[in-house]
Amino acid sequence: MTDPIFILLVGIVIVVGGIIGLKLHPFLALLLAAVAVALLTPTIAVEQFYLAKGTAAAEALKLSHKSIGERIGTEFGNTCAKIGILIAMAAIIGKSMLDSGAAERIIRAMLKVTGEKHSAIGFILSSFFLTIPVFVDTVIFLMMPLAKAMSMRIGKNYLLLALSVIAGGVMANSFVPPSPGPLFLIGALNVPIGLMMVCGTLLGLCTITIGYFVALWLNRNTTITLRDSPDARLEDIAAIANKSDKDLPRLSLALLPAVFPLVTICIRSAVEAFHTSDGPLTSSGFLNGVMEVVLFFGDKNIALFMGAVFALLVLAYQKKSDKSAMTAFTQNALMTGGGIILITAAGGAFGGMLQQTGISGRIADLTKDYQMALIPLAFFITAVVRTAQGSATVALITAAGILAGMAQNANLGFHPVYLCLAIGAGAKLIPWMNDAGFWIMCKTSNLTEQEAMKTIAPMQTIMGLSGLVLTMIAAHFYPMV
């Protein structure tokens, strides 16, 4: 009854059965599953979980004896701390860009470059390269409103556009530093960051190409259209799509709410990745002062907050709204963001309770003597842990911890960068309801849980498997040793 695998199965049944079978709201189903998992988890397992994280013995014992409500609340709050402000500000940015016509202006500019026929290619490439320096959820928040506006503009292909945004973002997040996951991997497996950036970009471009064709197939064989949502009503998008160019904001103003946070976050990420000393960045006091200001605004929470401010200013300029109208508009946007925050945080609480069962260690024990080549083994361990407890980061850390010693082996036969790529590919399998990212993708795209499981999950799985195959081929023909 206390085996982590059994507890995992109980959690899966409650979440999937509650949402799909009993039609429970996802927030309630996830919290119910978190409570059930916590009730089944013995205190000693929770204590061992904290000890494994490096917590002092006395503190680990204290944490393990917290009430179930406190433990769930802590994980709920930890998830909110990571994504709460981001989602709230992104909700304001997205709705403001739609209502002001900024999204429509950007779409028209993109169409001039790609043409309507190839608009999805523009989305998938933009999402991929933007996610390299920026948190993937932030890119999805910023680009999904553009996908809605583009779909309304061309009158079709909403699923293709939404999946393109997701495909580009999730693959860059797995393969290319300074995204957090790849950045951790290169440290754990002692791989040069430049090599990982080159190899990760090449593999990422190959996998998103495959993801694009999967999205095309899903779009042809799945009937999912753009729907009304509280933050983006179809009649409002249609009204904006029918406006003339002179009634839309200038392209520079339209881009500002999205470009400002992306550029400042990019600069901060680059500095943190490459400037490792405690000394000044340059020999110029003036430049150092400028960089301090830029780095302040490059914090993801501050950057998104400023993006929201700029988005509201553009909206106010376009609509000449009075203060009361702007207050009501912001309230509506925040109500939409609040629902996403609650569901995402509940998913984080469920995932946190699963992690405290010791599921990662249990899976590591099951696979430690598994006789297979290291590259598919790295992929397999990561995929199983990722699917079991929802966190791609935990899956990356678990696999890296198991394989770090092997990566330093002089007789490995290929460069350790291929292990990093295999682990990154395994982290894409299989997104479902214990993953906070799944809920973000699901809710921002207005897909139901069933639709997301039939579209997002298989697309990511195929891209992950493709990443494994391509990594093994590259390691065989170009081992770099």
Q: What is the pLDDT of residue 371?
A: 41
Q: Is the pLDDT of residue 119 over 90?
A: no
User: Radius of gyration (Cα) for the chain, nearest Å?
Assistant: 23
pLDDT band at 323 (very low <50, low <70, confident <90, very high): low
Q: Which residue has the higher pLDDT, 69 or 126?
A: 69
Q: Is the pLDDT score of 392 beyond 80?
A: no
pLDDT over threshold 70, residue 370: no
pLDDT of residue 240: 66
State the pLDDT at residue 63: 83
**pLDDT tens-digit map of 410-467:** 566 788 889 899 999 998 888 877 777 788 888 778 888 888 888 998 999 999 999 9
What's the pLDDT score for residue 374?
A: 76
Task: Give 163's pLDDT tier (boundaries 50, 70, 90).
Answer: very high
Encode pLDDT of 62-90 as tens digits: 888 888 898 899 888 988 887 788 778 87
The model carries a pTM of: 0.69
pLDDT over threshold 70, residue 478: yes
What residues have CB less than 8 Å from 213, skipping those under 6 apart? none
Average pLDDT for residues 158-179, to the nearest whole number? 87
Find the mean pLDDT for residues 159-174. 90
